[in-house]
Structure 1
Amino acid sequence: MKELKDIIRAYDEAQQQGKQTALATVVHLEGSAYRRPGARMLVTEDGQLTGAISGGCLEGDALRKAQLVIVQKKPMLVTYDTTDEDDAKLGVGLGCNGIISILIEPISADDQLNPIGFIKTILEKRQSAVLVTLFSMDKKTVQPGTCMLVTEEGSIKTSLEGGLLRNTLVDDAQVAIRNKKSVTKEYEVENLLTGFVELISPAVSLIIFGAGNDTLPLVQIASVLGWETTVVDGRPNYATLQRFPLASRILISKPENAISQLTFDANTVAVLMTHNYNYDIAALKHLLPLQLPYIGALGPKKKLDRMIDELIEQGILINEETIADLYGPTGLDIGAETADEIALSIVSEIKAVLSKRPGSSLRSKVETIHPRETQKVIPSSITV
């Protein structure tokens, strides 16, 4: 999500300066690569880059092709094949052993349904949405490009006219939202088209109860990742904008009052680190019914166990599923000692939990980092 925000910011600056732009998007991948489908990079006519489509290997070549796209004003599909061991002949030296397809689209400010406009709509609200990008592996064919946006609340924006293809894409987008999973499908129209039906979820919303010094690096690291952070504390001299300039929001409040002022969804997590037992247990009491995917508690495990026991004595229903989402002590075991290291361990654990990963060393992983089934192209049943 941070990459998308950076791209929008760079696009707006380019518009103010009268610069033309193009958007490069990884739309398909076979094998392995540094970035996955959905990675994006904005290119200005004078060569400024925002975002990334690789680890730095493809950007130079993609820049030249993007500048051509800007001049020609039509989308281009570019494929980089690094499955050959001697990928030096590509001039990019990837060494990734994959086939990467990148769609480069010119951005016209006059077109209200351009990809940047779709992305801006997504960023307006905290909701999941699907972007549909159509492309053809036959590079001689006109590339349709990013053509549809479907939001979680049911809003549809599209450059496609009504018909079977449009209706099918809407249905596929809604399925992707329900399944919380992107998909790539083939559509037999006049020519065979591939559709990247991409689910884009809201940024992680991290709510931190506690505005002590150890919260400072946690907010900073979360900000680097593009997470939205809210700092909640009852002490007005601690919870200040001067201390937390990178926080999205600061609330000076008791826990029970703060909860009613916050919005919670599937990407919302919380960490208790006030160093005040009574404040932490009051916050935990109001967080538990919300069934957040992650609630972390700073401090020893016996502290969390004591809070749970006390809440049960108060009649709060706490079952095994609820306890499974509680993490105390919060953070991964990386040997953290300083506040900065502890913040790193907390953020790492949250990321692992939300990604449904164990948080272990990649060298211990037997299978590939990314499951190959996510690269499958599913044939569509429609023929137009």
Structure 2
Amino acid sequence: MLNIADTLARWCRAARPFALATVVDVTGSTPLPVGTSVAVDHDGNAAGSISGGCVEGAVYELCRHVLREAGLPRRARFGPSGDDAFAVGLTCGGELDVFVQYVDPTAHAHLAAALTGVAGGRPAAVAQLVEGPGHLLGSTLSVLGDGHASSAGLADGPAGRAVAEEARALLRAGRGGRATVGGDAESCPEPLTVFVHVHAPRPRMLIFGAVDFAAALSETSRFLGYRVTVCDARPVFATPARFPHADEIVIDWPHRYLRRTEVDERTAVCVLTHDAKFDVPLLRLALDLPVGYIGAMGSRRTHEERLRLLREAGVSGGQLARLHSPIGLDLGARTPQETAVSITAEIIARANDATGLPLSRTTGPIHRPPRPGPVPAPGDRYRSPTPR
């Protein structure tokens, strides 16, 4: 849904009804991920894509049917096209489950605010009820960045509160997906399956060390959607002119800045100083935090010496196992730009539990479902612990 937030926001503001088709489940290799949507209005205008072309025509007609009926949502599953060249199916061999619902913006007034916010870059989550009692199918609920929830079809009762809390948790974690709530007397007697679309604040890339490699890494990270901070204790090196792609430049001792800044499970920490007086206190602190990635630059000799110093500082073997050092994948990188690609490739592989091997040397699906991860507790943001 959020892939076409700007168009949907415009249609909502104009009170223009539309049919919304969303990929809510995939099996195997598919062109686009779960959460991708197509919308069709009464004039036949379409926005978005869910398959890169293979099943677009069939989904478009299904949307037109739902628009004519203006009634209950429909489900459709598309698999491999098989031997028939004219069959409707996916040429990539995967399967996708599509949920199609009728949306009347006057009955889903909260959507306009959420979609307008997303189109403007603000965080929001939108939950669609895709499995459950017939009278609730297609119900929507939105959560804005301040945590305020609004809904259509979900009463202000246990079920609505359970869906709102799930949407808030996924918004904090920065990832969408399917979730099941209810199924118990306290929340809701019947289990409800919702698909939560999330537009979260950009994840953080914390780069320590104002060196040439940091300049290249900040550019690559910005391209990948990170909010980039470059930190160095030396003001002569940490300047906006040297790091035009950084969102923030901090002049401070690295460990002191890390202690006072906010991080979460999507944060990447890259230590490029390869200087023990900076690295050891910084990594000792970073390895205590539930961040997504910690990497440190240096030769293998530097790495071994760094490990020795960290052990002497009381860092456990379990903590050291989280450290990616020497940083990056083995791409034969030499220039700062090549090294930045090597580092970000390792971060992407780590985030997706992937091997980093050439696809020609692996088997199984190319596209993997997002890796599940812990969701922070309500209202929780990670801060560095008090130093030992």
1:166 to 160, 167, 180: 160
Question: Does 1:195 pair with 2:202?
Answer: no
In structure 1, what is the equivalent of residue 273 of structure 2?
A: 274
Q: Given the superposition, is the C-alpha separation of residues 161 and 21 from structure 1 closer, same or farther in structure 2, using an over 3 Å criterion?
A: closer
Conserved in 2, the CA contact under 8 Å of 1:74 and 1:106? no
Q: Given the superposition, is the C-alpha separation of residues 67 and 225 from structure 1 closer, same or farther in structure 2, using an over 3 Å criterion?
A: farther
1:145 to 121, 130, 138: 138
Deviation at 1:105, TM superposition (A): 6.0
- Between the aligned partners of 2:79 and 2:132, the Cα distance in structure 1 is 17
- Between the aligned partners of 2:44 and 2:54, the Cα distance in structure 1 is 19
In structure 2, what is the equivalent of residue 39 of structure 1?
A: 36
Question: Does 1:211 pair with 2:210?
Answer: yes
1:334 to 331, 349, 353: 331
Query: Which stretch shifts more, 19-28 or 268-277?
Result: 19-28
- Between the aligned partners of 2:261 and 2:369, the Cα distance in structure 1 is 38
- Between the aligned partners of 2:347 and 2:370, the Cα distance in structure 1 is 25
Conserved in 2, the CA contact under 8 Å of 1:31 and 1:372? no
Conserved in 2, the CA contact under 8 Å of 1:271 and 1:297? yes
- Between the aligned partners of 1:373 and 1:247, the Cα distance in structure 2 is 27
Identity of aligned residues (%): 25
Question: Does 1:83 pair with 2:77?
Answer: no
Question: Could you tell me which amino acid in structure 2 is paired with residue 232 of structure 1?
Answer: C
- Between the aligned partners of 1:340 and 1:73, the Cα distance in structure 2 is 53
Deviation at 1:268, TM superposition (A): 1.2
- What SS does structure 2 have at the residue aligned with 1:215? helix
Q: Superposed, which structure 2 residues align to 1:10-21 within 5 Å? A: none
Deviation at 1:74, TM superposition (A): 8.0
Please report the TM-score for the alignment, with normalisation by the length of structure 1: 0.70
Question: Does 1:343 pair with 2:340?
Answer: yes
Residues 25-75 of structure 1: CA deviation (Å, up to 9, x unaligned): 31233554222322346789896856x533454557767877998999889
Conserved in 1, the CA contact under 8 Å of 2:21 and 2:39? yes
Question: Could you tell me which amino acid in structure 2 is paired with residue 262 of structure 1?
Answer: T
Query: Which stretch shifts more, 165-174 or 94-103?
Result: 165-174
Q: Given the superposition, is the C-alpha separation of residues 220 and 68 from structure 1 closer, same or farther in structure 2, using an over 3 Å criterion?
A: farther
Deviation at 1:98, TM superposition (A): 1.6
Q: Superposed, which structure 2 residues align to 1:111-190 within 5 Å? A: 111-114=108-111, 117=114, 120=117, 124=122, 131-135=126-130, 144-145=137-138, 147-149=140-142, 156-159=149-152, 160-163=154-157, 165-166=159-160, 169=163, 182-183=177-178
- Mark the runs of 5 or more structure 2 residues left unpaired by the alignment: 184-189, 372-388
Residues 271-293 of structure 1: CA deviation (Å, up to 9, x unaligned): 01135553334432442332433
The size of the alignment, in residue pairs, is: 359
- What SS does structure 2 have at the residue aligned with 1:133? strand
Please report the TM-score for the alignment, with normalisation by the length of structure 2: 0.69
Conserved in 1, the CA contact under 8 Å of 2:299 and 2:326? yes
- Between the aligned partners of 2:110 and 2:363, the Cα distance in structure 1 is 43
Conserved in 1, the CA contact under 8 Å of 2:207 and 2:269? yes
Conserved in 2, the CA contact under 8 Å of 1:150 and 1:157? yes
Residues 321-370 of structure 1: CA deviation (Å, up to 9, x unaligned): 11011111111122223322221221121122222333334444454456
In structure 1, what is the equivalent of residue 93 of structure 2?
A: 96
